[in-house]
Amino acid sequence: MPAFLTLVCILLGRQATCDAQTASGAGLGTSIASSGVPDLVTGRVINAVTDQPVRRALVRLNSRAVLTDSEGKFRFEQNAEINGNILVSKPGFYASPEYGDAGNLYLQSSQLAIPLELRLYPEALLTGVVLAPDGTPLSGISVSAMRSIYDDSARRWMPVGQGQTDSHGSFRIPVPAGQYRLQTRYVLRDRTTGEAVLPFAVPSVGSGDASQSIRIHSGEEENFELRPTVSPTHTVGISHSESDRGFMRISARASNGGTLQVNSTAGNGDETKIQLPQGTYTLTARLMANADAAEMAETTITVPDHDISGVVLRFSPVPSIPLELVVDGSSNTDSTAPGLSQFGLVLNSEQADSDGGYAGVGLSSKTNQTFFFLAPPGNYRLVGRNTGAWYIESASYGDSDLLTQNLVVAPGASGIPIRITVSSETGSLQGTVKLNGNPAAAWVYLIPSGPSAQANYSTRSNSNGSYNFAHLPPGSYQAIAFERQHAVDYRTPGSLSPFDNHASSVTINVGDKPTLNLDAVPAAEVTP
């Protein structure tokens, strides 16, 4: 991964008096031509942590580029651009601590006339050493920085940075500020010891809660000593019935929560062989009979200090849960309801995926255009999204309301359908966002106060501050705007507490379009 990313600026709001001075060309050294285009665009780039100027940062205005001087200042003379896309880059800095925030800033001529203040965030550093239990440095070990993020449907761990240990076992991973877990992968044959290196994580994989993660701020460095288990491997012979023959995807979850993806080879007769280090594991195997059916087996084994055989995998069908689409009778019959596949339905497992991401089950379909979930036994949360004029009004599974309760899939469960009721009876919302008193482009979030398949709704106001939500389900919402993208699980109690003075409540009724004006949270108030 590159040591730095192409960076984008953050425009801070200016006072209304500054706008007035700019419009008249007084006191700021910028004149506006009769066409309304400022002939001079100026500003400075500062370190978001220290507020010190950043010298030799590359600032781009559309196709033009300049470097900042020793005071972090820049200027574009003879400007002829009516609208501008501002970007800034500097090795060792990021544009935003938010994951996935591209940060492109599009400004109109009136905004270009105001001296710009652009903030860059110093990279954080995760450093350390990987050692065998006896203290021997392990070289060539891949260490991943997994970031805890929320993507409107589930919290997951995503790889953001990666490093490889040197001859001293040392690693160095630059990352944006955020919440992380450091982890190593399973190495079947380590070049240092010649033995297997088991996966290792800090905090442990069992600490799925983001509150148990490593929290690092911009400009900080955290150092860690990782000591994974190192062990020779032994052959494990697995028996299965004649009907179970075929390709098996086998994984082994170690007692510390780490997952080992193992390769299987054919043994004698109906036996399959895998290699595992000494220890206790939960083996999970999956067979795909065809596109409509799958079988799974799970067993716990203990591998001693020698080869073993006779491990038995007993396969059983993965429950196939059908879905039904029901259209609310009060819906607008002039609008054709979309198919189930367009609602982005997913079952998110409560069991976190130790290799990153989450254990989600997507929608499957048969040739007759019926839909189903192939969901192994467990607890799941149903999530989906609105599509066009339609939204998910309710979701039920027997007596369970899946908008308020988890779906519990028991072994052998099948036949009972999930009933998805959709409606086009919606309302809308409009308004204006201001940042420090001035209309501004910002991210607007609506968080349903009641049951909903969609955790939140988001849009971006334009450079004049105007925003619009169409086709919102009726109900009550909390609304908030941020200068920069701010992806969190807003349904978590207290998620809006630090910004209570910026949040507002609104009720949407069918056919209504109320107006709600918001005061955005400045980027400087969101501590990186």
User: From CA 521, how far away is CA 16, in angstroms rounded?
Assistant: 17
Weakest-pLDDT range from 28-42, 63-77, 110-124, 476-490: 28-42
Lookup: tokens for 32: 């506006």
pTM over 0.75: yes
What is the rounded average pLDDT of the residues 262-270? 75
Residue 17 has pLDDT above 60, yes or no: no
Are 295 and 315 within 8 A, CB to CB? yes
DSSP class of residue 19?
Answer: H
What are the pLDDT digits (tens) for 319-371? 999 999 999 878 766 667 788 999 999 998 866 554 444 467 889 888 777 89
Structure confidence by residue, pLDDT tens digits, 376-393: 888 999 999 988 899 999
Lowest-pLDDT choice from 70-74, 98-102, 452-456, 524-528: 98-102
Which one is predicted more confidently, 318 or 154?
Answer: 318
Q: For position 512, what pLDDT does the model report?
A: 94
Contact 437, 398 (CB under 8 A): no
For 438-513, list the strands marked E by DSSP.
438-439, 443-448, 457-460, 466-472, 475-482, 504-508
Residue 463 binned pLDDT confidence (cut-offs 50, 70, 90) = confident
Query: Does residue 262 surpass a pLDDT of 80?
Result: yes
Provide the percentage of residues in the chain whose pLDDT is more than 70: 84
375's tokens? 């969901």
Q: Report how far residue 74's alpha carbon sits from residue 67's, in angstroms, rounded to the nearest whole number.
A: 7
How far is it, in rounded angstroms, from Cα 101 to Cα 175? 14
Q: What is the mean pLDDT of residues 68-79?
A: 93
Asked if the model's pLDDT at residue 161 lies above 60, the reply is: yes
- For all residues of the chain together, what is the average pLDDT? 83
According to DSSP, the residues that pair with 237 across neighbouring strands are: 273
Contacts of 492 (CB under 8 A, 6+ apart): none
DSSP 191-219: TTTSSEE--EEES-TT--SGGGSEEE-TT
CA distances from residue 241 to 266, 293, 313, 456 in whole angstroms, order as listed: 14, 18, 8, 48
**pLDDT confidence of residue 216:** 92
What would you report as the CA-atom Rg of the chain, rounded to the nearest whole angstrom? Answer: 28
What span, in angstroms and rounded, lies between the C-alpha atoms of 362 and 408?
Answer: 16
Distance CA 327, CA 424 (A): 9
Residue 436: partners with Cβ closer than 8 Å, 6 or more residues away: 12, 13, 14, 15, 522
Structure tokens at 456: 């939140």
- Coil, strand, or helix at residue 17? helix
Query: What is the mean predicted confidence (pLDDT) over 12-28?
Result: 36
pLDDT at 377: 87
pLDDT above 90: residue 504: yes
pLDDT above 90: residue 432: yes
pLDDT: is 148 or 90 the higher one?
A: 90
**pLDDT tens-digit map of 199-219:** 899 987 654 444 578 999 999
Confidence at 80, pLDDT banded by 50, 70, 90: confident
Residues contacting residue 206 through CB under 8 Å, at least 6 positions apart: 257
